[in-house]
Structures are given as C-alpha cells and as structure tokens.
Structure 1
Amino acid sequence: MDVSEEYRDAWEGYWRETTDAPGEAIWDSDPSLTAEPHTELLLPYADSALPIVDLGCGNGTQTRYLAGRFPKAVGVDISHAAIEHARRADATGVAEFRQLSLVDGPAVRELHRRLGDCHVYMRAVIHQSRPQDRAAVAHAIAEFVGTRGRAFVVELVSASRDVLRRAAEGPDGPPPKLRRVFAHGLKPADASDEEVPALLAEAGLDIFTSGETALAQTEYLADGTRIELPARWFVVGRR
C-alpha cells in the first residue's frame, strides 16, 4: 500500500514552493520550542544509546537537534523536495535524510532492519494524513520501536481548529504561511481527539505517559500573538 498520487503531489508542491529560509514553513519552529522539550519528556523512558528516527522530518530542523542528543538521527519524509531542503540545511552531515512513505510497509521494515530498534520522534503527522492511511502510520511507529525503542508522538487536538479558524478570519484573511498550507490542500487538525490513542493501541503500543501541550508555529495572529496549536503528546512503546 502507498499514499495516493494526489496526497504526495500536495506535499511535493508545498515543499517545492518553500525556500531554504528557516521558519518559512509554518511548523518550522526553533527546536527550543519543540524537539528540545519533547526530548526531555522522552528520555526518562528511553535508552539514550539507541538511534532515533524523525518521522515527517520536513526540512530537518528538529532532526539536526536530535542528532546532538542521540548517537544517530535519521529524518524521513514523504516529499523528495523536503529531503532536498533537509540535506542542504545539514551542511556538516550531522543527520541522515531519506525519502520514505510511512504507509510503504516494505520500505519501513527495510529501514528498521538497517537501524535495529530505535526511538521515534513524530510531530503532527497523523492529523495531516488521510484517514485511510493513519493506521499504517501508527504501525510504522510500532515497527521502528520494536521491543526496545520508545516513541514521542504529538498531535493536534480539536481545539486547534478554533485557533486556525480565528487566524483564517483575520482582517486580511489567513496569514501568508497558513494560506500556503490551505492552498496546497493540506488539512491540519483533521483527526479526532480519540483517534490518535486508539490508533497507537491498535498498533500494539502501550502509552507510558501523556500530557497536553501547544505546538508553537512560526506565524502570528493579526494582533501579533504567536499561533500556538493545542496538542496532546504521548510516550509509547512495548512494555
């Protein structure tokens, strides 16, 4: 199974129209607001000697941070254009990047065989995936962690739709970075609050701990307030 050509093209189009400038993608926040605090939540449950895979890495900002916290960091993304961004940004080669669809089971299993059990970092991927692909994404997490790894998964909750709606209804319409997301047919906050933990459980993953947070964006409301999208995080693995 693989994603539809339309879905893949949407992401390719988005990343082809994105420059290498840090923060141009609305979710490309500094790691101090994202991967850094998320890693602190993961590490009490994780063997720091294992590698980590950043699923849906985009231009690799978070992957490069993770490479400094784990012995090896691999960023994967469905978009070739995103991986090209990530490789250009990683001038010193601290991380590894490769194109990969999370619903391509054989490709996921091949990477797991190469890396062995590893940790997973996944920020806001399920909510952007097509409904029919979400179970496969959860199973990809389970494949990578195996028996020894742990995953940090953070996904938007329904309350984020209100924040996005408020941003879109500003005096000038959606701010530019959000407008580009909508223009490519990408659908943020498309999964229900109950769906994410259910998918993780169905994939055979146990939830060790979870909590509420907000994902800082690189775009601002009309009043100058940073857009922060309500989310829930999970640390999962096999007991």
Structure 2
Amino acid sequence: MAVSQQYREAWEGFWSATSDAPGEAIWDAEPSLSAVPHSELLLPYADASLPVVDLGCGNGTQTRYLATRFARAIGVDLSPSAIGHARRADPEGIAEYAQLDLVDGDAVRALHERVGDANVYMRAVIHQSEPEARPAVAEAVATLLGERGRGFVAELTPASKAVLQQASQGPDGPPVKLRRVYDHGLKPAGATDEEVPDLLRAAGLAILDSGDTALPQTETLPDGTRIDLPARWFVLAAR
C-alpha cells in the first residue's frame, strides 16, 4: 500500500514551495513549544538509549531537538523536498533524515530492521492523512516501536476546525501561512475525537498516558494572538 499520488503531490508541492526560513510552515513551532514539553511527557516511559524516529519530520526542527535527548534521532517524511530542508538546516548532521511513506509497510519494516526497536515521535500526522491510510500510519508506529520502544503521538482534534475558521475570518481571509496549507490541498483536523485512540489500539498499541493539549502555530488570529490548535497526546507501547 502507498499514499495516493494526489496526496504525495500535495505535500511535495507544499514543501518545494516553502523557503528554508524557520517558521514559514504554519506548524514549524520552536521546539520549546513542541518537542521540549512532549519529550518531558515521553521520557518517563522511554529508554533514551534507543533511537527516536520523528514521523512526518518536515524540515527537522523537532528532530534536531530530539537528537539532544535520545541516543540517535532519525527524521522521516513523505516529501523529498522536506528532507532537503531538514538536511540543509542541519549541516553538522546532528540528526539523520530519510524519505519514507508511512503507509508502505515494507519500507517501514525495513527501517525497523535497520535501526531496531525505536521510540517514536509523531506530531499531527494522522489527522491530515487520507482516511483510508490512517490505519497504516498507526501500524507504522507499532512496527517501529517493536517491543522496547515507546511512542508519543499528538493529533489535532475536531475543535481545531473552529479555531482555523476563526483565523480565516479576517478581512483578507486566511492568513498567509494558513492559506498556503489550503492552497496545496492539505486538510487539517480531519479525524474525529475517538478515531485516533481507536486506530492506535487497533494497531496493537497500549495507551500508557494521554491528555489534552494545544499545538502552537507560527501564525496569528486576526486580533494578533497566536493560533493554538486543540489536540490530544498519547504515550504508547506495544500491547
């Protein structure tokens, strides 16, 4: 199985049209707002001597921070242009990066064979995946964890749609960074509240801990306040 050509082209189109400037992608928040607090939730459960794989790493902002907390960090993304951004932003090679389709079970298993059981960090991938591909994304997390890895998954909830609608109601419509998401055919907050935990459990994962959070964005509402999108987080292990 693989993602659709339309989905692949949407992401490659987005990243190929994005500059190397930090924060140009609306979700490219500083690690202090993302991977730092998320690591604090994951590390009590995780063996930091295992590698960590950042699924949907984009330009690698969070991957580079994760490399300071785990023995080895590998960022993977569907888009070759995203991987190009990540490598250019990391000239010292703090982390590793590779193109990967999470829906391609053979490719995911090959990565697991190469790195062994790993911890997983995944921020906001399931909610914007094509509905028919979401079970395979959850299964990719389970495959990479193996028996010893632990995972941290954060996903937007449907409540994010109301925040995005509010953000789009300025006199000029959606702000520039949000408009770029829509222009490339990307669909945020597409999963229901119960869909994500159900998918994770169906993939053979146990939810060790979970909670509500918000994923800070690099864009603001019409009144100037930062866009924070409602989300849920899960710490996971093989069941």
Question: What TM-score do the two structures reach when normalised by structure 1?
Answer: 0.99
1:171 offset after TM fit, Å? 1.6
Return the letter of the residue paired with 1:116.
Answer: G
* Matched ranges for 1:46-61 at <5 A: 46-61=46-61
> Distance between the aligned counterparts of 1:111 and 1:53, measured in 2?
10
Q: Which amino acid aligns with 2:196?
A: V
Provide the rounded CA distance (Å) in 2 between the counterparts of 1:237 and 1:213: 20
Shift of 1:48: 1.1
Residue aligning to 1:230: 230
The answer for the alignment partner of 1:172 in structure 2 is 172
After superposition, residues 27-46 of structure 1 pair within 5 angstroms as 27-46=27-46
Matched residue type, 2:11: W
CA distance in 1, matches of 2:59, 2:133: 22
Q: Which amino acid aligns with 2:43?
A: L
Give the CA deviation at 1:183.
Answer: 0.2
Q: CA deviation at 1:228?
A: 0.2
Residue aligned with 1:45, SS: coil
1:126 shift after superposition? 0.1
Matches of 1:135 and 1:220, distance apart in 2: 32
Which contiguous aligned blocks of 4+ residues in structure 1 show a shift greater than 2 angstroms?
A: none
- Inter-partner Cα distance in structure 2 for 1:35 and 1:140: 20
In structure 2, the residue matched to 1:189 is 189
Residue 106 of structure 1 deviates from its aligned partner by 0.7
Q: How does 1:114-129 map to 2 (within 5 A)?
A: 114-129=114-129
Q: Residue 76 of structure 1: CA displacement?
A: 0.2
Structure 2 residue aligned with 1:220: 220
Partner of 2:65: 65
Task: Report the CA distance between 1:170 and its aligned residue.
Answer: 1.4
Q: Secondary structure at the match of 2:213?
A: strand
* Residue 130 (structure 1) aligns with: 130
Q: Secondary structure at the residue paired with 2:64?
A: helix
Corresponding residue for residue 24 of structure 1: 24
> What is the Cα deviation at residue 175 of structure 1?
0.1
Give the unaligned 5+ runs of structure 1. Answer: none
Gaps of 5+ in 2: none
Which residue pairs with 2:150 in the alignment?
Answer: 150
Residue 104 of structure 2 corresponds to which residue in structure 1?
104
Identity percentage of aligned residues: 69
Contact 2:169-2:222 at 8 Å conserved across structures? no
Q: Structure 2: which amino acid aligns with 1:218?
A: T
Number of residue pairs the alignment of both structures matches: 239
* Superposed CA offset, 1:150-190 (max 9, x none): 00000001111100000011121000000000000000000
